[in-house]
Amino acid sequence: DQQVKQNSPSLSVQEGRISILNCDYTNSMFDYFLWYKKYPAEGPTFLISISSIKDKNEDGRFTVFLNKSAKHLSLHIVPSQPGDSAVYFCAASLTGNQFYFGTGTSLTVIP
């Protein structure tokens, strides 16, 4: 029973353009959301987070949007760079103890 879903397994974007990665969740009680980036043969690295009291959080080229009524969050990367090519995971938490991860979206940024 997947509580966090990333329905696009892969995404290709031209360098300089915007990358939009999407994530849906089923539990309306989730109160904290994170995005991680993962390169092959490495552990995930934290990218950006948002709590349920906000609808937007920005950090440089990365912006996360949260739509609580739709149970949807998205990660925008502008402008996309070849070094952004990686697998991106979204994760959600109810208590800050347990985290539920999506299945990941593989982003390829084409030079």
Partner 1 sequence: NAGVTQTPKFRILKIGQSMTLQCTQDMNHNYMYWYRQDPGMGLKLIYYSVGAGITDKGEVPNGYNVSRSTTEDFPLRLELAAPSQTSVYFCASSPGTGFSYEQYFGPGTRLTVT
Judged by the rule CB under 8 A, the positions of this chain that interact with partner 1 are 2, 4, 6, 9, 32, 34, 36, 41-46, 49, 89, 91, 93, 95-104
Token pair of 58 as six digits: 């920005």
Considering beta carbons, is residue 16 or 59 the nearer one to partner 1? 59
The distance of closest approach from Cβ of residue 96 to partner 1 in the complex, given in angstroms and rounded to an integer, is: 4
- Containing 19, the helix (H) or strand (E) segment is strand 19-25
Radius of gyration from C-alpha coordinates of the chain: 13
**Region for residue 47 given its phi and psi (left: phi exceeds 0; alpha: psi -120 to 50; beta: otherwise):** alpha
Other Cβ atoms within 10 Å of 32 Cβ, number: 16
The distance of closest approach from Cβ of residue 46 to partner 1 in the complex, given in angstroms and rounded to an integer, is: 5
Considering beta carbons, is residue 69 or 97 the nearer one to partner 1? 97
The distance of closest approach from Cβ of residue 26 to partner 1 in the complex, given in angstroms and rounded to an integer, is: 14
